[in-house]
């Protein structure tokens, strides 16, 4: 399997060469040259596989330059009951006939990002060891992604994590989750500023190519291809758990932000998984819902982006969206370049009336938008009717799923986080404190370790330089640059 850029300007590369990044040198996103086809006989063979074995079967189609036995061992070490709470890894829980939750948030940071990120940690460690190189991951977080990255990379050989977070602006639970890590390769940097300022610091360093190269700086953001690939697995798992035969179909409802999760569903469908609908659920930040309904893609400015009670879906532009548009454009990079230059020029593009609009219905997408009131009402109704507590993001998914159910087609809503992470909204909806999973009681009182820092690029560079080995400036970094 070779990887290409959605904009056509990249030499075909192998999986291990694009593993760290996602952004192609021409500004496009890295995509596989084709989607492997999974026929009915293969589906039948996969149906009874445990999660780790299923992950191996799917990932080996994409990671063709990793030796099979090594990839299998990495999957088996990652997808364990120890890390994900059960042998099922992503158990399916029925709410009522035809409606179920696929629980993706039983990993160490209680959000679905762990499913892919834990594997990414194992892959990075393995490939770095093979190459004899090291990697310093630099990132900014307002909560979920940063902690998932830290828990995936903690204690791994050849990897250090420098994670910026806005001092005093995360929930006590999120703060404790990150700052209580004692691993020597994790550096929490509490910036005296807001999240955007943390992100600006990361961008400033990413733009300093010399510094970046000398200190082997990389990122783990949502456009990382391996994360998308690892997410394909649980769509298959959910299908098998909800059906008895491969002649049936299912639909998925996906609480969406950067379009990473639902993109994996789109790819599973393209591979041949019998998916009827892929329901994209947004919150008040409804860029994706607007696109699917109207064909108009209009990313919002930071000022137009709402801060909502499902904060992990508060995005202004959907960073993985270009990969889907590439497929919609029949994989024509010239057309993607055309659309993205319109986007740059006009701040939006519109595919209505074009060939892309004609292809959209065949992709099976449906969409909807959920507001704070919807989320609260849904949380409450699900709790009353089924005795099940869901988090605000999953509530958005369930709210939108309701409008798109079909008789005879099970609707599977992806549970993207646990309610314990969003206690204030749970209290508002049903007046109780969400239960903490075992092992998370009292994490707020553990000792915390972090470095406080002003918004100052030079200070940050010094901090990183003091803690990393500088390569001679002539060494060419094997890792691709990433934004």
Ligand X SMILES: *Cc1c(COP(=O)(O)O)cnc(C)c1O
Nearest distance from C-beta of residue 260 to ligand X, angstroms = 3
Q: Kindly tell me which of 261 and 370 has the beta carbon lying closer to ligand X.
A: 261
CA atoms within 13 A on the CB side of 105: 20
Angstrom distance (rounded) from CA 450 to CA 182: 10
Pick out residues in 164-223 that bind ligand X (CB under 6 A).
222
Tell whether residue 271 is a contact of ligand X (CB under 6 A): no
Pick out residues in 293-332 that bind ligand X (CB under 6 A).
312-313
Helices (DSSP H) in 306-414: which residue ranges?
A: 321-328, 333-346, 355-359, 372-386, 392-401
Q: Kindly tell me which of 17 and 150 has the beta carbon lying closer to ligand X.
A: 150
Tell whether residue 260 is a contact of ligand X (CB under 6 A): yes
Tell me which residue has tokens 């005093």: 168
Nearest distance from C-beta of residue 474 to ligand X, angstroms = 38
Which neighbouring-strand residues pair with 138? 162
**54 touches 69 (CB < 8 A):** no
Stretch that binds ligand X, among 18-26, 181-189, 196-204, 250-258 (CB under 6 A): 250-258
**114 touches 90 (CB < 8 A):** no
Nearest distance from C-beta of residue 416 to ligand X, angstroms = 3
Among 114, 144, 327, 482, the residue binding ligand X under the rule CB under 6 A is 144
Q: Kindly tell me which of 113 and 156 has the beta carbon lying closer to ligand X.
A: 113
Angstrom distance (rounded) from CA 483 to CA 476: 18
Catalytic residue among 2, 103, 113, 212: 113
- Applying CB under 6 A, the site for ligand X has a residue count of 16
Angstrom distance (rounded) from CA 133 to CA 153: 15
Widest Cα–Cα separation across the chain: 64
Pick out residues in 351-410 that bind ligand X (CB under 6 A).
393
Angstrom distance (rounded) from CA 299 to CA 80: 39
Q: Kindly tell me which of 128 and 426 has the beta carbon lying closer to ligand X.
A: 426
Nearest distance from C-beta of residue 222 to ligand X, angstroms = 5
Among 261, 309, 370, 425, the residue binding ligand X under the rule CB under 6 A is 261
Q: 201: helix, coil or strand?
A: helix
Phi-psi region of 249 (alpha: psi -120 to 50; beta: other; left: phi over 0): beta
Which neighbouring-strand residues pair with 445? none
Note if 103 is an active site residue: no
Among 7, 72, 113, 317, the residue binding ligand X under the rule CB under 6 A is 113
Q: Kindly tell me which of 71 and 102 has the beta carbon lying closer to ligand X.
A: 102
Tell whether residue 90 is a contact of ligand X (CB under 6 A): no
The closest alpha carbon to 309, from 381, 392, 369, 370, belongs to 392
Tell whether residue 269 is a contact of ligand X (CB under 6 A): no
Among 16, 109, 221, 256, the residue binding ligand X under the rule CB under 6 A is 256
Tell me which residue has tokens 């932000």: 257
Nearest distance from C-beta of residue 208 to ligand X, angstroms = 27
Among 258, 276, 282, 283, the residue binding ligand X under the rule CB under 6 A is 258
Angstrom distance (rounded) from CA 378 to CA 374: 6
The closest alpha carbon to 78, from 157, 152, 185, belongs to 152
Pick out residues in 412-431 that bind ligand X (CB under 6 A).
416-417
Pick out residues in 218-237 that bind ligand X (CB under 6 A).
222
**8 touches 28 (CB < 8 A):** yes
Nearest distance from C-beta of residue 452 to ligand X, angstroms = 26
CA dihedral 255, 261, 264, 266 (to 10 degrees): 30
Nearest distance from C-beta of residue 220 to ligand X, angstroms = 13
Among 62, 259, 404, 479, the residue binding ligand X under the rule CB under 6 A is 259
Q: Kindly tell me which of 124 and 422 has the beta carbon lying closer to ligand X.
A: 422
Angstrom distance (rounded) from CA 163 to CA 186: 8
Q: Which helix (H) or strand (E) holds 122?
A: helix 113-131
Stretch that binds ligand X, among 34-42, 114-122, 244-252, 258-266 (CB under 6 A): 258-266
Q: Which residues are catalytic?
A: 113
Q: Which residues bind ligand X (CB under 6 A)?
A: 111, 113, 144, 222, 255-261, 312-313, 393, 416-417
């Amino acid at each position: 399997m070779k990887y290409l850029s959605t904009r056509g300007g990249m030499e075909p590369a192998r999986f291990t060469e694009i593993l760290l990044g996602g952004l192609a040198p021409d500004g496009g996103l890295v995509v596989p040259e084709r989607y492997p086809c999974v026929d009915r006989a293969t589906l039948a063979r996969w149906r009874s596989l445990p999660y780790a074995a299923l992950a191996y079967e799917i990932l080996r189609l994409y990671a063709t330059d990793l030796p099979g036995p090594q990839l299998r061992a990495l999957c088996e070490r990652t997808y364990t009951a120890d890390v994900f709470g059960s042998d099922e890894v992503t158990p399916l829980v029925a709410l009522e006939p035809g409606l179920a939750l696929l629980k993706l948030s039983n990993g160490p940071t209680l959000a679905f990002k762990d499913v892919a990120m834990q594997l990414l940690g194992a892959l990075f460690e393995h490939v770095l060891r093979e190459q004899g190189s090291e990697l310093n991951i630099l990132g900014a977080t307002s909560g979920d992604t940063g902690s998932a990255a830290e828990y995936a990379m903690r204690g791994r050989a050849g990897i250090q994590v420098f994670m910026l977070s806005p001092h005093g602006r995360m929930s006590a639970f999120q703060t404790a989750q990150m700052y209580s890590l004692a691993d020597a390769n994790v550096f929490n940097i509490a910036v005296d500023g807001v999240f955007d300022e943390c992100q600006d610091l990361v961008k400033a360093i990413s733009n300093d190519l010399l510094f970046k190269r000398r200190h082997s700086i990389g990122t783990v953001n949502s456009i990382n291809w391996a994360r998308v690939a690892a997410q394909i697995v649980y769509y298959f798992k959910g299908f098998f758990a909800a059906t008895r035969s491969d002649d049936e179909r299912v639909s998925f409802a996906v609480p969406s932000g950067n379009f990473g999760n639902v993109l994996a569903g789109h790819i599973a469908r393209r591979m041949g998984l019998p998916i009827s609908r892929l329901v994209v659920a947004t919150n008040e930040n409804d860029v994706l819902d607007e696109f699917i309904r109207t064909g108009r893609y209009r990313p919002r400015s930071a000022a137009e982006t709402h801060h909502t009670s499902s904060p992990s879906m508060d995005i202004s532009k959907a960073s993985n969206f270009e990969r889907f548009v590439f497929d919609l454009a029949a994989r024509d990079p010239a057309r993607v370049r055309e659309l993205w230059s319109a986007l740059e020029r006009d701040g939006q593009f519109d595919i209505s009336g074009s060939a892309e609009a004609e292809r959209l219905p065949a992709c099976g997408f449906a969409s909807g938008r959920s507001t704070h009131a919807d989320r609260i009402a849904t949380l409450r109704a699900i709790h009353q009717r089924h005795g099940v507590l869901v988090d605000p993001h999953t509530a958005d998914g369930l709210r939108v799923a309701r409008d798109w159910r079909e008789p005879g087609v099970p609707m599977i809503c992806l549970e993207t986080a646990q309610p314990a992470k969003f206690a204030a909204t749970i209290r508002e909806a049903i007046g109780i404190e969400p239960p903490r999973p075992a092992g998370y009681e009292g994490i707020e009182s553990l000792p915390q370790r972090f470095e406080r820092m002003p918004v100052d690029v030079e200070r940050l560079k010094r901090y990183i330089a003091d803690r990393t080995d500088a390569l001679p400036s002539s060494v060419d970094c094997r890792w691709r640059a990433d934004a």
